[in-house]
Amino acid sequence: MAKVAVAQMLSGENLESNLEQAALLVEQAKSEGAELLLLPENFAMLDSKALIRLAASEERSSLIERTLSGLASRNKLWVIAGSVPLLVTEDEQIGGRQRVYASSLVYDESGQRCARYDKIHLFDVDVDDQHAAYRESDFIQHGSGLTVVDSPAGTLGLSICYDLRFPEQYQALRERGAEILTVPSAFTAVTGEAHWEVLLRARAIETQCYVLAANQGGQHSATRSSWGHSMIISPWGEVIAERVESGPGIIVADIDLESLHKRRKAMPVMQHRLAAKL
């Protein structure tokens, strides 16, 4: 049995303020006995047009990564940074345009970075809200590989936000051994109200994994708001922890891998799926 925490944030355009907010949440998670904490997408800055500038600054100073490493080591806590913008190298650029990867970074309790996942599915969508249009591909280059990593709580399968709408990605993570799926997000208020919980519960049920879903929550600017409702969901699809309030805070829950594997043995959906060669 391991205790895990999920952080909800209300990140803005000020890097230092956002990092201070994240530090307080890491310390709170540690005080509540968590061994692992998930931060939301864009926790360091929620400003798409500033991502390339922020990534260039990070390449020079490593401020975000040094902060994350220090928080993990000081608190003896695994920290999963929802997404950090990292520059795409010239050799990796598609179409000759400078972009960033939206990278989920995992730090162990000693502060070592032990895993990285680059967001695959990009949110190029028109939404019926004041922001109206979201075009992540203007600033972000999609990743191309899946990542799983062993942690004290179980084997993590990493994803980010819009990935949630593509169940085949989570089936592939389960096939690679995932027991816990991480979904750091900045789901909009409109799409979140309609689809957030049902998608999270579906991914948990389909893969028989725990799902940790850290969302941004609240009004970021005059035109942008996030749904919040960060959740921890059991492999049976039960919401076992939820932050109902908007704004920053954490939720905690226990991960019971023995129960998870009993559930999988009783209903071996992966074997059935593979037998059908779908």
One pLDDT digit (tens) per residue for the chain, 278 residues: 999 999 999 999 999 999 999 999 999 999 999 999 999 999 999 988 899 999 999 999 999 999 999 999 999 999 999 999 999 987 788 877 889 999 999 999 999 999 999 999 999 998 888 777 899 999 999 999 999 999 999 999 999 999 999 999 999 999 999 999 999 999 999 999 999 999 999 999 999 999 999 999 999 988 889 999 999 999 999 999 999 999 999 999 999 999 999 999 999 999 898 766 65
**Which residue out of 35, 58, 136, 161 is catalytically annotated?**
161
CATH code, domain with 200: 3.60.110.10
Q: Which residues contact 239 (CB under 8 A, 6 or more apart)?
A: 197, 201, 231, 232, 233
**Which residue range(s) make up the domain with 138?**
2-275
Active site residue 209: no
Whether residue 80 contacts residue 105, with contact meaning beta carbons closer than 8 Å, is answered with yes
DSSP secondary structure code for residue 207 in this structure: H
Active site residue 35: no
Task: Tell me the pTM.
Answer: 0.96
**Which residue out of 119, 136, 179, 242 is catalytically annotated?**
119
- Neighbouring C-alpha atoms within 13 Å toward the C-beta of 140: 26
Q: How far apart are CA 199 and CA 138, in angstroms?
A: 26
* Structure tokens belonging to residue 73: 């080591």
**Which residue out of 35, 41, 58, 136 is catalytically annotated?**
41
Active site residue 161: yes
Domain count, the chain: 1
